[in-house]
Amino acid sequence: MGRESVMLTPAESNEVMEAFKQFDKNDKGYLTRIEVQSAIEDLTNQTFSMDHVEILYSEFDKDENGKVDIPEFKTMIKYLRSTGAVKKKRSSIGIDDLGSFNAFGKSLGSLGTYGNHRSSDQDLAMSLVLSNAVKASQQDSNEMLKRIAKEIYPVRDMLCIQDDAIFKDMDNEEDEQDNMHRSMALDFNDLFGDEFDSWNDFDEEEEKEPVNTMDPDFESAFPASDMRCLALVSHNGMKKTMREFVVANKNLLKKFRLTGTNSTMTMLKEVFKDEAPGSIVYGPSCASGPLGGDAELVAYMVSGKIGGCIFFQDPMSPHPHRADIDCLVRQALVHNVVMAETPSSALMICTTLRQALIGRGKPELMPSFFFSLQSPTVEAYKKQQKAVVDAQKAAANGAAAVEDKVVAEEMVYKAKVTRASVFYGA
């Protein structure tokens, strides 16, 4: 069906908004189950039982908090409309209406629709309509996941996208509490079937690689020499991930002057070894992190030589130079420098950097590569520091004034004593 095919028109969206506001008692910003029931009955002129509402909640209460907010309500209505339940207000919906919804409509239409069967038939008909709406929503969500997964498949290892088929093959007697902590976001087997297997075959054939559509080559609007450095740093446990990140984004990264700690700089030169001599601009190479490399990067950052930093930290290991790590991250905050500390955030930043460099360029998207910035709190801190210094100066000046006054008084006193001694001595 596609999400585009079930979009609400502006007029329909306004109608849904008005219904939401009407039944949102006390302007809470959400609808309860009873309020949802009243709202959809008002919009459709149909009767909905609480069982029907539960069917809708199972799919459209996305955060599972028992409340339906405006986006969730709009989504609910647009899928109800897509199945025909909300096309227009009408007297009732019965079994005969299901012919356009699914194959059950024709067979159910032969059942009795009069007498005592009318109410139960209508209830069943509405349940089937709502089930169709839920299925349409689930299908669109699945298609969206497929599109996303296909695009990010080349960087799947860097993102650690989980494949729950791995866990399905594990011993079923494994502790359920352990399974609760497993992330099973995507199952490539279920999403792509044979296509997934063909992608895996690419990994086994050196001459073939999945096409990475996320990193097309392009001509940069600005030379690397006109921009501040992009620093790349990674802990030992994240070295492999950093290399995968560089390989997946090499066409973008080679547009920058690159700096980093020693091992990362060595890796960069290996990855870009086939590039034309001089086409890759390298900044200063720092020492290993525990030997002061992070501190060196802090110095470059404070002096305005670094515009962005991609820092893949290992959250599962202790680090003897934790103070240096914290200092690097803190100075990125102080100087308002672009900082990515996870592969997923680095990918998002890369998207912005591409937009900033492609074509005529949009340098306003990456100001820290051209200007010295600072946190909005720095100015207040500077004022506080100035107040402290001024107070110290005032106190020192006051003490000096008091001391001068005491000295002057002592001199006057001594002069008086001298004069008295001379007078009485005479």
Based on the fold, state whether residues 239 and 125 are members of the same structural domain. Answer: no
For residue 7, the 8-state DSSP code is P
Residue 309, token pair as written in the block: 């930093």
- Annotate 190-228 with b (16+ C-beta within 10 A) or e (fewer): ebbeeebeebeeeeeeeeeeeebebbeeeebebebeebb
For residue 109, the 8-state DSSP code is H
Based on the fold, state whether residues 186 and 203 are members of the same structural domain. Answer: yes
Q: pLDDT tens digits for 48-73?
A: 889 899 999 999 998 888 899 999 99
Average pLDDT of the residues in 136-152: 85
Asked if residue 273 belongs to a domain, the reply is yes
Tell me the helices (H) and strands (E) count for the chain, helix number first: 18, 5
Asked if residue 133 belongs to a domain, the reply is yes
Based on the fold, state whether residues 406 and 335 are members of the same structural domain. Answer: no
Lowest average pLDDT, out of 88-97, 214-223, 343-352, 378-387, goes to 88-97
Burial of 89 (0-12, 13-18, 19+ CB in 10 A): exposed
Q: pLDDT tens digits for 242-283?
A: 999 999 999 999 999 999 999 999 999 999 999 998 899 999
Q: What is the pLDDT of residue 306?
A: 97
Based on the fold, state whether residues 63 and 186 are members of the same structural domain. Answer: no
* Residue type at 398 in one-letter notation: G
| pLDDT-based confidence at residue 366 (cuts at 50, 70, 90) | very high
The β-bridge relationship of strands 306-312 and 258-261 is unpaired
Based on the fold, state whether residues 56 and 124 are members of the same structural domain. Answer: yes
Asked if residue 157 belongs to a domain, the reply is no
What's the domain range around 185? 162-171+180-213
From 294, 324, 326, 404, active-site residue: 294
Q: Using alpha carbons only, how large is the chain's radius of gyration in Å?
A: 35
The pTM assigned to this predicted structure is 0.70
- List CB contacts of 367: < 8 A, sequence separation 6 or more: 373
Report the CATH number at residue 246: 3.40.50.1380
Based on the fold, state whether residues 209 and 73 are members of the same structural domain. Answer: no
Please state the φ and ψ torsions of residue 333, each to the nearest 5 degrees: -70, -45
> Among this protein's residues, is 203 annotated catalytic?
no
Strand order from edge to edge, sheet including 282-286: 282-286, 258-261, 229-234, 306-312, 338-340
For CA atoms 292, 293, 298, 301, give the dihedral sign. positive
Based on the fold, state whether residues 232 and 364 are members of the same structural domain. Answer: yes
CA distance 337 to 335: 6
Based on the fold, state whether residues 231 and 351 are members of the same structural domain. Answer: yes
| Number of domains comprising the chain | 4
Report the CATH number at residue 65: 1.10.238.10
Based on the fold, state whether residues 295 and 426 are members of the same structural domain. Answer: no
Average pLDDT of the residues in 395-424: 73
Q: pLDDT tens digits for 80-130?
A: 887 765 544 444 444 344 433 333 333 334 433 444 455 677 778 888 888
Asked if residue 55 belongs to a domain, the reply is yes
Q: What is the pLDDT of residue 157?
A: 81
Based on the fold, state whether residues 121 and 241 are members of the same structural domain. Answer: no
Based on the fold, state whether residues 243 and 207 are members of the same structural domain. Answer: no
Based on the fold, state whether residues 315 and 260 are members of the same structural domain. Answer: yes
